[in-house]
Structure 1
Amino acid sequence: MILQALTAYYEQLLAQGRVEAPGWDSRFKVSYELRLGPDGQLLALNDLRQEVPKGKKTVIAPRELPVPHRVKRASGVAANFLCDNTSYLLGADEKGKPERSRQCFEACAALHHKVLDGVDSPAAKAILAFFDSWEPDTAPTHPLLAEQWADLNNNANLVFGYESPDGAHWLATTDDAIRDAWQSAFDTSDADAGTARCLITGKEAGIARIHPAIKGVMGAQAAGAALVSFNAPAFCSYGHEQGANAPVSEYAAFAYTTALNLLLADRNCCQRIGDTTIVCWAENAAPAYSNAMLMFFCGGAEARGVSESDLAAALKALSQGRPVSFLDDKLDPNQNFYVLGISPNAARLSVRFFLRNSFGQFAKNLQDHADRLSITRPAFDKRASLSVWVLAQETVNQKSRDKNPSPQLVGDLLRAILTGGPYPATLLNGVTLRIRAEREVTRGRAAILKAYYLRNYPTELNKEVFTVSLNESSNVPYVLGRLFSVLETIQSVANPGINATIKDRYFNSACATPATAFPTLVKLAQKHLQKMSTPNEVHFSKQLTELMAQLPETGFPARLSLPEQGAFEIGYYHQTQKRYAKKNEEE
């Protein structure tokens, strides 16, 4: 299903003229041009690199050009057409292996002769003449190469160019006759290979023995990783080798890897959360869908010129099944949409999740998630919404050396949000542990508690307790949380600047076993009230009386269950935010 969806996406891009035809890689980093004359002599070495912004500074980077399809190298010698490194195009030896460099150059020359022999093109004849006359031993001292030799041998890619006698010049990759010759050679390259029915297209075709590499996944090898591979006998069956174990045609392998590499290279279609790299795309290949989806659950709308209010309005409209205009395009809620999460695993890629649904259904799931997270926001918190990464960070000790949340948690949380399924229990466990360790109920932690119990245990009681703002009449655990917040306020007013508060000493016990903590705290509050001015004493005494009146006549509960502790913490958070809101109004 994943490969079929990516292949279909590639075909949409091809129909729209946004990618090269099979046999060509749309974007490949090239640093230098080897410009040849009609007789195959090297006329110039042209620097193709350009200045590109990187953060707050500008760096020199290779230029991305369409080049003939690249072979995947594991070991051994395998040459590329028209564009390769110095070992293949120049026969240069900088690693103490002159024999291997000679083999690389000879393999490259043989490939070009195989493709270009008989091609009636001055550029093609010049390339063949170059290979016939070039002496690899002279490369390091060649007057046109010596000055840039260090850069040339630093994994730089070179491409052939041609200059005619009248001074006109062009890259060999743009020469029509050379392109036609390469296309013909590529289309017939699998003629001698074994054929089988492709699992993707359903057609009889030559099977890809090794699939092209996937590049751009954070944490994976820089040279690329494989989504499909069989590189050990244990992975093979029925006597098949490598790609024959899951027959995918050369065309389909090229199509799906090209599509995935393009998505990974586009920051508007790709986002990293933890160790999971997320790519998403619409079936019609319209980029506005991917842009909108990543803004919906990763944030960053203002950086792309979209206000938070406009983003929220678009999400709400789509969740209700209404099309909206967004980023100069019209988003159709019925459009099929895909979300793929992948993680690095040595030389391979692990699929964390693959989701397919209508764009409107994804929007509805995200809107429901946002509604469940909605809770009173502190005045100092300027964030309109809480992203997935922010939620996952609430489970992490920010004083520890490793401040990254569990990769498994991030993947499970993403899946739950996008599918509308139950939140993972590890999310609640992580937040509960942080509250107990730090005795701090932040906005993010309170929002997680609220969302978790509303989604995983959708009872009427939870709807009454886990509200957006303070509920004046609720159940006992919620009232106890409010009471603890008031007791904490009384202590801070009576003893401003105190080092250790009742929250530091009693929060966990009050939350888990109220009967052991609250009698002591209430007695302590009476002593604190005596230190206050008369207006303050009357005000806080009234609050205590109102809250105590909502408790059962049997007294404080002996213990609270985990959901009841969540209600306690939400009550504490709501009461505390009400106190801060009133203080801000007074100021």
Structure 2
Amino acid sequence: MSMLASLVRAYDRLPWKPPYGFAVQNIGYCVVLTPDGAVAEVVDLRDTDKKRSPRQMAVPACPKRAGVTPRPNFLWDNVNYALGAGTLTDPEDKRFEAFRDKHLEFLEAVEDAEVQSFCAFLRSWSPEALSQHFDLEILPTAGIVFAMAGSYRDHCLHDAPALRSVWLSERERWTAVEGKAAAEAVCLVSGRRSAIARTHPPIKGVWGAQVAGAAIVTFNSDAYESYGHEQGDNAPVSEAAAFAYTTALNRFLDKDSGHRIQIGDASTVFWADAAEAEAAALAEAFFGEFFDASASEKINTDRIGAQLERIRRGEPLSEVAPQLDQGVTFCVLGLAPNAARLSVRFWWESSFGTLTRHYQRFVEDMRLDPPPRDGWPPLWRYLVELAAQGKRENVPPLIAGEWMRAILTGTAYPLTLLSTTLMRIRADGEINALRAAMLKSVLIRNFAKEVPVALDPGNTNKGYILGRLFAVYEEVQRAALGGNVNATIKDKFYGAASAAPQKVFRTLDAGAQNHFAKLRKLSPGRAVNLEKLLTSITDLMEPGNDPIPASLASAEQALFGIGYYHQRSDFFRKHDDTPITEADQ
């Protein structure tokens, strides 16, 4: 199923959704009118909390606003359109005039008491009266709706039957640009002949994209058009389908929707399609816990905690949650900003059972001992390790989407994951559990190498051996000099030792002998243990005149980092896995 078709199906399953032609918007105030069109009062609809958050209401969908020509909304708008606040500072501001004239054009002939009251308001309202209802220094930024004095607690004007009927019948003409009505064609999503959307509603909430929203399907230049078609006619999607997929996507992109996570520059949304709503919700909760627990904070995860741990141990989903193994289709979509458009970083759709198996493979590839201190980190935490200064906004572009796509599909990881991790290690000298796990996963999946989870004293890979050896040299320095070292050998030599070890290790060995001389006086037992360890590692090297290679390939550099991490971590634990104290050393 195509991405847009899946989103249209998702719209049909939304628990609370605006009807066709409507959209959920932030509304701050309601202007209550008397039968003769006078303003009876202005009601503040915002929440009473400290933030004074606006209320979300389903109102007639907005036309796209581009250029200098004012394009008002139907029966609601911001304070500049609905009440003419812009004219108080700029007499040439025509937004209220456009709001007034267009409504009178469409509504004056409608024989309904509420409609005629609203028309009377438009004819009589003067923007100078704003000061009676608002502080002109702090004008509202949320939307403004209208209602009648006797019924505003029950419904606003845009919900009145007569006005809703006008909107649904005249919506196409109201939103038409330059008088061009929508053409009819076969919709690429539904397969039915329908009125085609010339422009699609904006998609909001994508990290880094325009605040006003951007589009996935758009044609704003002759270079993108063909066969004489204009705008949306080049990729015909019906008005109904365009409304449905953008409504669902905007709902999923809400920060508190429970359907989105941020992976690098990709705003990632996910949803499940199942016959039973409970099974779909459970699958979505599992996915949120897989990659970012904060996405499912509103869901009671205590009930899935034990099941989640079983999944991470590799148990089949058919045994852990059999109701999810079959009959649950899962969709994952990653979006990133691209000028005025949105770029699809990845799109994946398959069964939840397949997704779980691919996730279990990801977990197994990343398994490492000792593990990260804080348990299973979210995917974004790994990506931060690839960013300069550890800032999320510095995560290299594209790598997040490519890695997520590989995890979802079970395919090879992007090699940029390996090269970027090695580059960051050389840049700041930090070799932690997250970086070592990423190196290990790429070696397993892309190079089919056997990489130890924990310290492997018998491993004879030259990169792994040299990484362990480098960690021992560093420990000898630390044991001999303590903390009185401005720059350790790791700070000075790690990059050169992992790439061109032959040039460095002779210097390191000579320095280690000097440190051993001092350590034998301070702690003879510690010196003997480290000498034995050093000998056991060098005995693993291939015999020859110079067993240390001149250079290491990128895969061997990764094993160097893993060997260093394993050996370095082993120095801070006893054999019974209890930490070593200074007194023990």
Name the TM-score class by shorter chain. 0.7 to 0.9
Residue aligning to 1:248: 237
Q: Residues 163 and 169 of structure 1 are in contact (CA less than 8 Å); yes or no, is this contact kept in structure 2? A: no
Q: Which amino acid aligns with 2:477?
A: Q
| Residues 28, 551 of structure 1: alpha-carbon distance in 2 compared, 3 angstrom cutoff | same
Q: Residues 479 and 547 of structure 1 are in contact (CA less than 8 Å); yes or no, is this contact kept in structure 2? A: yes
Q: Which amino acid aligns with 1:204?
A: R
The separation in 2 between residues aligned to 1:403 and 1:224, in whole angstroms, is 20
Are 2:211 and 1:222 aligned?
yes
Q: Which amino acid aligns with 1:473?
A: G
The separation in 1 between residues aligned to 2:511 and 2:83, in whole angstroms, is 85
CA RMSD of aligned residues (A): 3.0
* Larger mean Cα displacement after TM superposition, 503-512 or 419-428: 503-512
Residue aligning to 2:384: 393
Q: Residues 318 and 333 of structure 1 are in contact (CA less than 8 Å); yes or no, is this contact kept in structure 2? A: no
Are 2:516 and 1:529 aligned?
yes
Q: Which amino acid aligns with 1:394?
A: E
Q: Which amino acid aligns with 1:29?
A: N
> Normalising by structure 1, what TM-score?
0.86
Unaligned runs of 5+ in 2: none
| Residues 280, 317 of structure 1: alpha-carbon distance in 2 compared, 3 angstrom cutoff | farther
Q: Residues 279 and 341 of structure 1 are in contact (CA less than 8 Å); yes or no, is this contact kept in structure 2? A: yes
Q: Kindly state the Cα deviation for residue 413 of structure 1 after the two structures are TM-superposed.
A: 1.4
Q: Which amino acid aligns with 1:342?
A: L
Q: Kindly state the Cα deviation for residue 579 of structure 1 after the two structures are TM-superposed.
A: 0.7
| Residues 45, 420 of structure 1: alpha-carbon distance in 2 compared, 3 angstrom cutoff | same
In structure 1, which of residues 15, 18, 28 is the aligned counterpart of residue 16 of structure 2?
18
Q: Residues 35 and 46 of structure 1 are in contact (CA less than 8 Å); yes or no, is this contact kept in structure 2? A: yes
| Residues 578, 309 of structure 1: alpha-carbon distance in 2 compared, 3 angstrom cutoff | farther
Mapping for residues 486-525 of structure 1, pairs under 5 Å: 486-496=472-482, 497-525=484-512
Residue aligning to 2:3: 2
* Larger mean Cα displacement after TM superposition, 90-99 or 187-196: 187-196
- Secondary structure at the counterpart of residue 344 of structure 1: strand
- Secondary structure at the counterpart of residue 389 of structure 2: coil
Mapping for residues 69-218 of structure 1, pairs under 5 Å: 69-75=61-67, 76-92=69-85, 93-94=87-88, 95-99=90-94, 101-113=96-108, 117-119=110-112, 122-131=113-122, 133-135=123-125, 138-141=126-129, 144-145=132-133, 147-152=134-139, 154-164=140-150, 170-186=155-171, 193-218=182-207
Residue aligning to 1:557: 548
| Residues 480, 393 of structure 1: alpha-carbon distance in 2 compared, 3 angstrom cutoff | same
Q: Kindly state the Cα deviation for residue 124 of structure 1 after the two structures are TM-superposed.
A: 3.1
* Larger mean Cα displacement after TM superposition, 302-311 or 563-572: 302-311
Q: Kindly state the Cα deviation for residue 356 of structure 1 after the two structures are TM-superposed.
A: 1.0
Mapping for residues 408-419 of structure 1, pairs under 5 Å: 408-419=398-409
Q: Kindly state the Cα deviation for residue 246 of structure 1 after the two structures are TM-superposed.
A: 1.4
Residue aligning to 1:289: 283
- Secondary structure at the counterpart of residue 350 of structure 1: strand
Q: Kindly state the Cα deviation for residue 87 of structure 1 after the two structures are TM-superposed.
A: 4.2
Q: 1:266-308 CA distances to partner (integer Å, 9 max, x unpaired)?
A: 4411122332111111124744433331321124379555369
The separation in 2 between residues aligned to 1:143 and 1:510, in whole angstroms, is 73
- Secondary structure at the counterpart of residue 389 of structure 1: helix
Q: Kindly state the Cα deviation for residue 453 of structure 1 after the two structures are TM-superposed.
A: 0.3
Q: 1:234-270 CA distances to partner (integer Å, 9 max, x unpaired)?
A: 2211111111111111111111111111111144111
The separation in 2 between residues aligned to 1:412 and 1:352, in whole angstroms, is 8
Are 2:440 and 1:450 aligned?
yes
Q: 1:5-41 CA distances to partner (integer Å, 9 max, x unpaired)?
A: 111111222xxx521321222x211111111122222
Q: 1:217-239 CA distances to partner (integer Å, 9 max, x unpaired)?
A: 12222211122111222221111
The separation in 2 between residues aligned to 1:85 and 1:508, in whole angstroms, is 58
Q: How many residues align?
A: 557
| Residues 169, 488 of structure 1: alpha-carbon distance in 2 compared, 3 angstrom cutoff | closer
The separation in 1 between residues aligned to 2:404 and 2:365, in whole angstroms, is 15
Residue aligning to 1:320: 316
Q: Which amino acid aligns with 2:563?
A: G
Mapping for residues 43-54 of structure 1, pairs under 5 Å: 43-51=40-48
Q: Kindly state the Cα deviation for residue 505 of structure 1 after the two structures are TM-superposed.
A: 3.6
In structure 2, which of residues 8, 18, 29 is the aligned counterpart of residue 32 of structure 1?
29
| Residues 490, 48 of structure 1: alpha-carbon distance in 2 compared, 3 angstrom cutoff | same
| Residues 573, 65 of structure 1: alpha-carbon distance in 2 compared, 3 angstrom cutoff | same
In structure 2, which of residues 306, 311, 325 is the aligned counterpart of residue 310 of structure 1?
306
The separation in 2 between residues aligned to 1:440 and 1:316, in whole angstroms, is 27
Q: 1:462-516 CA distances to partner (integer Å, 9 max, x unpaired)?
A: 21xx211111201142222222222221222122223333333443343334444
Q: 1:317-353 CA distances to partner (integer Å, 9 max, x unpaired)?
A: 8972327569xxx645541111111111232111111
Mapping for residues 349-360 of structure 1, pairs under 5 Å: 349-360=342-353
Residue aligning to 1:300: 294
| Residues 317, 74 of structure 1: alpha-carbon distance in 2 compared, 3 angstrom cutoff | farther
The separation in 2 between residues aligned to 1:486 and 1:168, in whole angstroms, is 75
Unaligned runs of 5+ in 1: 53-57
- Secondary structure at the counterpart of residue 349 of structure 1: strand
- Secondary structure at the counterpart of residue 386 of structure 1: coil
Q: Which amino acid aligns with 1:361?
A: T
- Secondary structure at the counterpart of residue 281 of structure 1: strand
Q: Residues 226 and 347 of structure 1 are in contact (CA less than 8 Å); yes or no, is this contact kept in structure 2? A: yes
* Larger mean Cα displacement after TM superposition, 76-85 or 242-251: 76-85
The separation in 2 between residues aligned to 1:501 and 1:259, in whole angstroms, is 54
